[in-house]
Amino acid sequence: MKDSLLELSNSALIQNILKKAGINPPPVLTRASAPWGERILRDTDVIIGGDGNLQSGLARSLVSIGASLILAPSVAAERFANIDHYQLQALDNSSMVSKAKAVLYDGSSIKYVNDLKDAYEFFHNITQFISPNTRVVILSKVPTMCDDPEEATVAQALIGFGKSLSKELGNKGSTVQIVQAPLDEEGGKRAAPLVQFLLSDYSAFITGQVLEVSTLAKENDSYLLGGSLAGKSVLVTGATGGIGKSTVLALFEEGAHVLCLDHEDNREALEDLAKKVDGTAIPMSLGLPDNGVKLEAEIKQAVGYVDVLIHNAGVTRDKTLKRMVEVHWDQVLAVNLGSIIQITDHLCKTELFRDHGRVICLSSISGLAGNFGQTNYATAKAGLVGYVKALSETLAPRGITANAVAPGFIETPMTERMPFLTRQFARRLSTLSQGGVPNDVANAICFLASQASQGVNGAVLRVCGGHMMGA
């Protein structure tokens, strides 16, 4: 489906006309579409600012995947003595800012309110020169891990700073995230792949998000992103829908064997998709008490194991609560919540679900903020947020992580059926002033499915373009 205003934005002439008429055209986003590879930041200049403890280790990880570093004047260059000189420059003019496509600011050493001025000065000096589609990550301490109240206050303050900055840069298609990490070696190691992903164009529709790095799950042997899904067995429910299909195709491109599950009514489309990705088709109606047992048998017959569970299937039966019939309440809760718990719990008790696996549930911003006429749907989607948080703790000793992805307005056949004005309004309610595409969600899911995401656990990753609902 087409966003007419976004299509007009491709023309510089039309952009000028719209601006003169007082209409801010949405930015054209630069998205990555190819498989990850080993150097997802190849030929990317990254400006390094701040003076935190995580800075040098993370900077080296960026160089390892193809980035070159530009150090702000306040950064201690001696920390980077072991990086080749041709991958290291000093920031000395505005054209270097315009050339850069990523910014990493380490605020993890900030302890006092007055120290926040360093963040102001750094971004004040570069913001006007930042080019479109620049990715910004702000690092900070985890507030709950700070012993001093003022130190915790400052870490929390950086959230407000980062979210506000994301709205100021959103009209350029640029994004800003806040990553809170433990300051020890393990925290830095687990933060590195997350920062790499957020500084890449695979995260083009994610902005204004706060992600805390977790060391809860048992340590991995490797945190490399490239190739980490090769040979993995991944179950995707709701496989033939807009987000589901994009996820299946993306997983296939990364080398995974995909178990494609969808409703029996979609058998033909399901079998065609499974054949296209050399995967396995599993026609099955969800929301039934024997789903777990039947799925166990299907997995045994297909590949004998599963590494990743992606619970994408869902139904909507929208009505205000006073008009909602009981069957519609029961159906949405059974499919969108009950079946997910039943299937996950059953497979976790078998030997099929391997250690260092992943559980990924598709929540929604409706579950975070609530939505008129969707008490059933929002209840189920909010429940999934609580489920992954609880599950992340119980499965951590096995190295298994559990996370939720909360899409905002995504251009799918389902949203195409919305009334025209409702659709236009929903698109403009985000920082990036447009809807996302299914591949935006698929990229986030693939990252969380990878072994590189071990530091993200019990979290909700919003893929919403900075949507105002639930922000």
The verdict on residue 379 lying in a domain is yes
The verdict on residue 446 lying in a domain is yes
Statement to judge: residues 443 and 311 lie in one domain: yes
Statement to judge: residues 199 and 240 lie in one domain: no
Given 212, 242, 270, the domain boundary residue is 212
Question: Whole-angstrom Cα distance, residue 126 to residue 284?
Answer: 53
What pLDDT is attached to residue 349?
Answer: 94
The verdict on residue 382 lying in a domain is yes
The verdict on residue 228 lying in a domain is no
Given 179, 212, 245, the domain boundary residue is 212
Question: Whole-angstrom Cα distance, residue 459 to residue 466?
Answer: 17
> Is 120 among the catalytic positions?
no
Statement to judge: residues 208 and 237 lie in one domain: no
Q: What is the mean pLDDT of each run of 10 residues along the chain (471 residues)?
A: 60 60 78 86 94 89 93 88 79 92 96 97 96 98 96 98 97 97 94 97 98 94 87 97 96 97 96 98 95 96 97 93 95 96 96 96 92 93 97 97 95 71 75 94 97 97 85 56
Query: Exposed, middle or buried, 107 (CB in 10 Å: 0-12/13-18/19+)?
Result: buried
Q: Give the chain's domain count.
A: 2
What pLDDT is attached to residue 468?
Answer: 76
| 305 token code pair | 């194991």
262: β partners? 283
Statement to judge: residues 451 and 346 lie in one domain: yes
What pLDDT is attached to residue 109?
Answer: 94
Q: What is the pTM of this model?
A: 0.93
Statement to judge: residues 260 and 389 lie in one domain: yes
What pLDDT is attached to residue 84?
Answer: 78
Statement to judge: residues 109 and 156 lie in one domain: yes
CA angle 319, 322, 323 (to 5 degrees): 45
The verdict on residue 221 lying in a domain is no
What pLDDT is attached to residue 412?
Answer: 76
Statement to judge: residues 56 and 205 lie in one domain: yes
Statement to judge: residues 40 and 176 lie in one domain: yes
Question: Whole-angstrom Cα distance, residue 306 to residue 348?
Answer: 10
Question: Whole-angstrom Cα distance, residue 266 to residue 269?
Answer: 6
Statement to judge: residues 289 and 248 lie in one domain: yes
**Catalytic annotation, pick one of 202, 223, 377, 387:** 377
What pLDDT is attached to residue 214?
Answer: 97
Statement to judge: residues 275 and 163 lie in one domain: no
Question: Whole-angstrom Cα distance, residue 155 to residue 110?
Answer: 8
First-to-last CA distance in the chain?
26
CATH number, domain with residue 351:
3.40.50.720
The verdict on residue 400 lying in a domain is yes
Full residue range of the structural domain in which residue 35 is found: 31-212
> What CA–CA distances, in Å, run from 269 to 263, 266, 282, 342?
10, 6, 11, 26
Statement to judge: residues 432 and 285 lie in one domain: yes
The verdict on residue 340 lying in a domain is yes
Block residue for tokens 């805390």 = 212
What pLDDT is attached to residue 390?
Answer: 97
The verdict on residue 313 lying in a domain is yes
Statement to judge: residues 309 and 425 lie in one domain: yes
